[in-house]
């Protein structure tokens, strides 16, 4: 989009904010028409800024942007969806941040991917309307596919042969499920249960909304989380920042659950 | 760089030192360095002394982690303050702002805020100290006074989850419209919260 007018309108989800100087911030926005881009909002950290609340990360906003010499400049912004319930719950918030980090890392500047934009909003809406946290798995699988890393779930990712229904090796490095015969040539991976494989196959064709209807027990969910986490890590060739945070978060939760259990025995968990 | 060759080394060193400060570009750094050079020697000594003094004499309070000259800091040492509430703030500067509002309880300074996107986790800010502090403390209420930003909210919720089970009451600063604001420009979330928190007049 090199022949853009001097200013343009778009909408987008704010992925990230970085502060600049005294009162300015640079925002990374993902837009269906512009793709991912950075733009600066001047004076947005002053208390009387008109745009401040409309450009918080994870907000979907309408934006008016003026072309700048280096960075484009926000001139107006208005919220379309604030996804408030996502902000009010730590687990939802962390998952949403993790998914928006994935969008940031999987996309290239100024390259529109309207399908991925819809996926991101579907996820945020799902989390905003009390959908289960498991929809994060559906998001992971689909962002991989949309970015050209479709995981092979029907036939062997190496030889293409069909394999009998059963627990099968999932190797993200090889591009999906690997049959018995090819195991030797496959990279590292982990064995997935038949149930997990079925969920993945369903997730590949189902929308996030349909996936939300699926009830996954904790074991199955963590099996999928590990497998897809591997795939993301291998494709990105690094850990995600917020992914580490998701794990971090699970720890004090367990600790506090333990504290709550201890609470029944002794009145103050801290005094013990 | 041509000036690197023509500038005497001591001046260049001072320029580089200024350049490292936030908001100081190469030209400002040069101007500051030459200003020091032109000025009287006692001005330079005064500046050098002040710089060293702040590093030597200021440390973190062992109780609340506020920046202080004596330990414990004057807020923690003051017996007249209400010891049943602890106000948790992001930065030492936020503490001064809360103090101006008339609050007279205790504080805890986190020196940062959780930022999952940039990989700033709980171990990077002073959360652990707060938990340890609560184990041997008579505090009944923790006021989360982090900024009403995404990161501030995440931090508040995280701390609530961490210490909530111990039975201490955790409260959050009210959110709404700042004085002098325009309703027309307020974002939906702020307005919704302002409506929720409305008061009878």
Joined together, the tokens standing for residue B40 give: 């009287």
Joined together, the tokens standing for residue A143 give: 């962002």
Give me the interface pTM, i.e. the ipTM: 0.80
User: How confident is the model over A166-225, as pLDDT tens digits?
Assistant: 899 999 899 999 998 888 888 788 999 999 999 999 999 999 999 998 888 889 999 999
Q: For residues A131 and A121, what is the distance between their CA atoms, to the nearest angstrom? A: 13
Among candidates A21, A93, A255 on the partner chain, residue whose Cβ is nearest the Cβ of B154: A93
Going by C-alpha positions, the residue among B97, B98, B93, B106 that lies closest to residue B67 is B93
Per-residue pLDDT for A268 more than 50? Answer: no
| Residue B179 contacts A where some CB pair is shorter than 8 Å | no
Which residues between 47 and 66 in chain A have a beta carbon less than 8 angstroms from any beta carbon of chain B?
Answer: 47-48, 50-54, 56-59
Q: Measured between CA atoms, how close is B152 to chain A, in angstroms?
A: 11
- Of all residues in chain B, the percent with pLDDT exceeding 70 is 98
Per-residue pLDDT for B17 more than 80? Answer: yes
- Of all residues in chain B, the percent with pLDDT exceeding 90 is 66
pLDDT tier at B13, thresholds 50, 70, 90? very high
* A contacts of B161 (beta carbons < 8 Å): 90, 252-253, 256
User: How confident is the model over A132-166, as pLDDT tens digits?
Assistant: 999 999 999 999 999 999 999 999 999 998 888 88
* A contacts of B155 (beta carbons < 8 Å): none
Residue B45 is predicted with a pLDDT of: 95
| Residue A247 contacts B where some CB pair is shorter than 8 Å | no
Strands B67-68 and B59-60, how do they pair?
A: antiparallel
Q: For residues A191 and B59, what is the distance between their CA atoms, to the nearest angstrom? A: 53
Which residues between 166 and 185 in chain A have a beta carbon less than 8 angstroms from any beta carbon of chain B?
Answer: none
| Residue A217 contacts B where some CB pair is shorter than 8 Å | no
Q: Under an 8 A CB cutoff, do A245 and B187 touch? A: no
Q: How many contacts, defined by CB atoms under 8 Å, are there between A and B? A: 99
Strands A60-66 and A35-41, how do they pair?
A: unpaired
**Helix, strand, coil in percent for chain A, rounding step 5:** 45, 20, 35
* B contacts of A45 (beta carbons < 8 Å): none
Per-residue pLDDT for B120 more than 70? Answer: yes
Q: Measured between CA atoms, how close is A233 to chain B, in angstroms?
A: 16
Residue A86 is predicted with a pLDDT of: 93
pLDDT tier at A255, thresholds 50, 70, 90? low
> What number of residues does chain B have?
201
Q: Measured between CA atoms, how close is A98 to chain B, in angstroms?
A: 7
Residue A250 is predicted with a pLDDT of: 65
Q: For residues A233 and B116, what is the distance between their CA atoms, to the nearest angstrom? A: 17
What's the N-to-C CA distance of chain B in angstroms?
Answer: 66
Residue A270 is predicted with a pLDDT of: 38
Nearest CA in chain B to A21: B23
Residue A9's H or E segment, with its range, is strand A7-20
Q: Is A87 left (phi over 0), alpha (psi -120 to 50) or beta?
A: alpha
Residue pair A143/A205 in contact (Cβ under 8 Å)? The answer is no
Going by C-alpha positions, the residue among A172, A268, A167, A180 that lies closest to residue A220 is A167
Residue B83 is predicted with a pLDDT of: 92
Q: Measured in whole angstroms, how far is the alpha carbon of residue B35 from the centre of its chain?
A: 31
A53 phi, psi to nearest 5 deg: -70, -20
């Amino acid at each position: 989009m090199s022949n853009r007018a001097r200013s343009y309108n778009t909408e987008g989800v704010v992925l990230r904010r970085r502060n600049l100087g005294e009162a300015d911030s640079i925002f990374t926005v993902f837009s269906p028409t512009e793709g991912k881009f950075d733009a600066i909002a001047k004076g947005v950290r002053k208390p009387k800024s008109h745009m401040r609340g409309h450009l918080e990360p994870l907000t979907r906003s309408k934006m008016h942007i003026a072309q700048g010499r280096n960075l484009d400049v926000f001139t107006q912004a208005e919220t379309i969806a604030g996804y408030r319930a996502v902000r009010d719950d730590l687990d939802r918030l962390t998952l949403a941040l993790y998914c928006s980090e994935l969008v940031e890392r999987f996309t290239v500047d100024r390259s529109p991917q309207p399908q991925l934009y819809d996926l991101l909003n579907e996820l945020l809406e799902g989390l905003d309307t009390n959908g289960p946290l498991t929809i994060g798995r559906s998001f992971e699988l689909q962002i991989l596919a949309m970015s050209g890393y479709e995981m092979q779930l029907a036939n062997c990712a190496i030889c293409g042969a069909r394999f009998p229904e059963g627990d099968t090796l999932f190797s993200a490095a090889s591009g999906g499920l690997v049959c018995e015969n090819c195991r030797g040539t496959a990279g590292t991976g982990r064995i997935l249960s038949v149930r997990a494989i079925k969920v993945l196959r369903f997730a590949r064709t189902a929308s996030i909304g349909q996936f939300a209807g699926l009830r996954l027990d904790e074991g199955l969910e963590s099996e999928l989380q590990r497998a897809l986490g591997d795939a993301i890590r291998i494709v990105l060739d690094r850990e995600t920042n917020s992914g580490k945070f998701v794990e971090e978060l699970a720890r004090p939760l367990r600790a506090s659950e333990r504290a709550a259990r201890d609470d029944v025995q002794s009145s103050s968990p801290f005094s013990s | 760089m041509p000036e690197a060759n023509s500038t005497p080394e001591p001046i260049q060193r001072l320029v580089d030192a200024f350049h490292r400060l936030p908001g100081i570009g190469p030209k400002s750094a040069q101007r500051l360095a030459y200003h020091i050079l032109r000025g009287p020697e006692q001005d330079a000594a005064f500046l050098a002394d002040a710089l060293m003094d702040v590093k030597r004499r200021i440390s973190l309070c062992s109780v609340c982690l506020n920046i202080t000259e004596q330990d414990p800091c004057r807020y923690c040492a003051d017996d007249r303050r209400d010891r049943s509430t602890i106000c948790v703030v992001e930065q030492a500067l936020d503490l001064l702002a809360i103090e101006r509002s008339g609050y007279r309880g205790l504080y805890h300074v986190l020196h940062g805020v959780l930022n999952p996107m940039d990989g700033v986790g709980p171990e990077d800010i002073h959360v652990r100290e707060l938990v340890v502090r609560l184990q041997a403390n008579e505090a009944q209420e923790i006021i989360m006074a982090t900024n009403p930003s995404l990161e501030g909210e995440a931090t508040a919720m995280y701390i609530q989850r961490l210490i909530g089970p111990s039975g201490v009451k955790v409260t959050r600063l009210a959110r709404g419209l700042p004085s002098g604001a325009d309703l027309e420009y307020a974002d939906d979330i702020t307005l919704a919260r302002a409506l929720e928190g409305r008061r009878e007049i």
